[in-house]
Amino acid sequence: MFWAQLIFLLLATLQQLAQAHVLSGMIMAGAACLLFFSLWLIRQKRYQVAAAWMLGLMTSLCFYYLWTSDGLRDEAILGYPAILVVASIIGNRRIFIGLLVIMVVSL
């Protein structure tokens, strides 16, 4: 899961930079670097904290793109249900409810 997200973020970063969206590309590159903290937490056997960090980071990216793009009409809104599905699989109930509340408040 970690490597799939990292590869996706790096490919999306290259795409954004190729389209001359430098700020967006740099934010994605920063998120990819912050994702390595999740890997460190996994190696420290702190799985729930790593899951919360990774899911929070992905939620923040979706929120950023919703805020700067077309809002509710942007395709980034489809990331919210996907994040909740992953949260229900790898996280606990507290992480799921917390993300759900953050997502509802941000809309």
Give the model's pLDDT for residue 11.
81
* Per-residue pLDDT band at 8 (split at 50, 70, 90): confident
Give the model's pLDDT for residue 85.
92
> SS3 sequence, the chain?
CHHHHHHHHHHHHHHHHHCCCHHHHHHHHHHHHHHHHHHHHHHCCCHHHHHHHHHHHHHHHHHHHHHHCCHHHCHHHHHHHHHHHHHHHHCCHHHHHHHHHHHHHHC
What number is the average pLDDT over the span 5-19? 79
Return the percentage of the chain with pLDDT > 90, whole number: 17
Query: From the CB of residue 33, how many other CB atoms can be counted at a distance below 10 Å?
Result: 11
Kindly report, residue by residue over 47-97, the tens digit of the pLDDT.
999 989 989 998 988 888 888 877 777 777 888 898 999 899 988 899 999
What number is the average pLDDT over the span 31-58? 89
* Per-residue pLDDT band at 101 (split at 50, 70, 90): very high
pLDDT of 1 over the 70 cut: no
C-alpha–C-alpha distance, residues 104 and 52, integer Å: 17
Backbone angles phi, psi at 21, to 5 degrees: -100, 80
